[in-house]
A and B are shown apart, each in its own frame.
Chain A
Amino acid sequence: MSFDTGVILDNFPKLLTGAVLTVQLVALSGLGGLALAFPIGIARSSRRPWVRALPWCYIFFFRGTPLLVQLFLVYYGLSQFSAIRHSELLWPYLRDPYWCALIAMSMNTAAYIAEILRGALQAVPRGEIEAAIAVGMSKGQILRRILVPRAVRIGLPAYSNEVILMLKGSALASTITLLELTGMARTIIAETYMPVEIFLAAGACYLAISFLMVRTFKLAENILNRHLRHAR
């Protein structure tokens, strides 16, 4: 098979700019999703049914439908309402594919992170919470000082998996005209007609990015759990 490495080298700078946008999308939506997930996850593990109901619906919708549908609903769907099209506050953002991708990806990943968070909150040993009550901490203090720090350490491995899934999900941003790694690859192919070479190069870029991300999370885990190192 004639495999043209020259075309990969020629277009590598372009792929790299696409990769930068991919990383940017993943990092920002990862942070945005995390910020959204905290209230949702905490409300989801509430004991009161009417507090639990709304986050349950949110999680059910975002985990039960494809990211592509969510992306299209935000980017194409919202423009159906003239109130949004004429809103000076919202329209500049909702018209922009970059912001739409960020919004859809953040909301999607927030649903998954909220479930991770709920699992992690429930995995915090009961005795530690009882101990906190016994020394007289208030509910807010327990949440801030015991529950959340413990849950973050328990949930970190699952969160890193979710970020990797988001990296793969970010390829969908190419369907709403964003030139991230996949979108850039498709543009280059439209010019060069070399699908195998360019797609494989893009795939290699994704592998490299996910490798670096896994490494970073391992490092963060080691730093956060350094108090456990002696015991092991």
Chain B
Amino acid sequence: MNLHGFGPQLLQGTLMTVRLALSAVSVGLVLGLLGAIAKSSRHAALRLLGEGYTTIVRGIPELLMVLIVYFGSSTMIGAVLRQFGIDTYVELGPFLSGTVALGLTFGAYATEVFRGALLTVPRGQIEAAQSLGLGRWHCFHRIVLPQLWRIALPGLGNLFMVLLKDTALISVVGLDEIMRKAQIAVGDTREPFTFYGCAALIYLGLTVLTSGGLMALEHRANRGYRRARS
């Protein structure tokens, strides 16, 4: 396959895609955890907030989400800042917009995964922690969270694969990731099949690598359970 010297460019795009996916997943994991805590809270207002977040974000196309964040954020941030008497123009670049949009989407789906995992932690353990005098934060951090991770990992892994493919959407707002680099190469060489095919192969490679990494992570998370199952 003749890449007309665009190989290094595609490689740079791949690095950008990986960076975007990693930063979006870290935002998404935090949002997902917060969402799950809100949804299983005792306060009705928090539950409503969590419910609204997941319903709205999961019903809106990812592409629309990206466009809303990229084109709408400066208006919305400006309006909020004006309430505090600050009159400046704030703009999120393509990378930040992509991180926020994909993180919001990941978080909404991860909320459901975490919520399911929260339910599997036996009530007795939490009571035991309370009777030992652990505070609420300690109880969550030391008892619930370590067990949550193991149960939630397969679900989160699937979501990460979806996120990885959704990074292609950020090319629409001009981030120099794989798709955008391929578009530039196509504009120059007039060989769309070669470069989009190449992009497809890179995504396939990333998917394979990720699923390998996820399998290793799951293996590690389950190391305490290995003997019991066989």
Contacts and interface: CB of A to CB of B under 8 A. Distances in A.
Given A168-B61, A174-B63, A196-B72, A68 B169 contact: yes
A18 to B, nearest CB: 12
Contact of A168 (B60, B165, B194): B60
Interface string A173-208: 011000000100110010000011001101100110
Interface string B52-80: 00011001111110011001100110011
Contacts of A200: 68, 72
Given A65-B203, A79-B192, A80-B194, A203 B168 contact: no
Interface in A132-189: 167-172, 174-175, 182, 185-186, 189
Interface stretch (A34-42, A70-78, A222-230): A70-78
B63 A172 contact: yes
B70 to A, nearest CB: 9
B199 A69 contact: yes
B64 A206 contact: yes
A186 B66 CA distance: 12
Interface residues of A, number: 41
Which of A168, A202, A207 has the largest count of B CB atoms less than 10 A from its CB?
A168
B63 A80 contact: no
Contact of B67 (A61, A69, A169, A182): A182
Contacts of A2: 79
Contact of A207 (B60, B62, B193, B203): B60
A68 B179 contact: yes
A125 interface: no
B208 A64 contact: yes
A60 B76 CA distance: 41
A46 B9 CA distance: 42
Contact of B76 (A67, A174, A196): A196
B86 to A, nearest CB: 14
Nearest to B168: A66
B207 interface: yes
Interface string A63-104: 011111110110011111100000000000000000000000
Contact of B71 (A69, A73, A189): A189
A1 interface: yes
B58 to A, nearest CB: 9
B171 interface: yes
Contact of B75 (A69, A196, A207, A211): A196
A51 B152 CA distance: 35
A46 B165 CA distance: 29
A174 B66 CA distance: 13
B197 interface: yes
B186 interface: yes
A68 B171 contact: yes
B168 A69 contact: yes
A172 B166 CA distance: 11
25 contacts: A1-B75, A1-B76, A2-B79, A64-B203, A64-B208, A66-B168, A66-B203, A68-B168, A68-B179, A69-B179, A73-B192, A73-B200, A76-B192, A76-B196, A77-B197, A79-B192, A171-B61, A186-B67, A195-B71, A196-B68, A199-B72, A202-B64, A203-B64, A203-B68, A211-B59
Interface of B: 55-56, 59-64, 67-68, 71-72, 75-76, 79-80, 165-169, 171-172, 179, 182, 186, 190-194, 196-197, 199-200, 203-204, 207-208
The 6 A-B residue pairs whose C-beta atoms are closest, nearest first, are A1-B79, A171-B61, A77-B193, A195-B71, A76-B192, A66-B168
Interface of A: 1-2, 60-61, 64-70, 72-73, 76-81, 167-172, 174-175, 182, 185-186, 189, 195-196, 199-200, 202-203, 206-207, 210-211
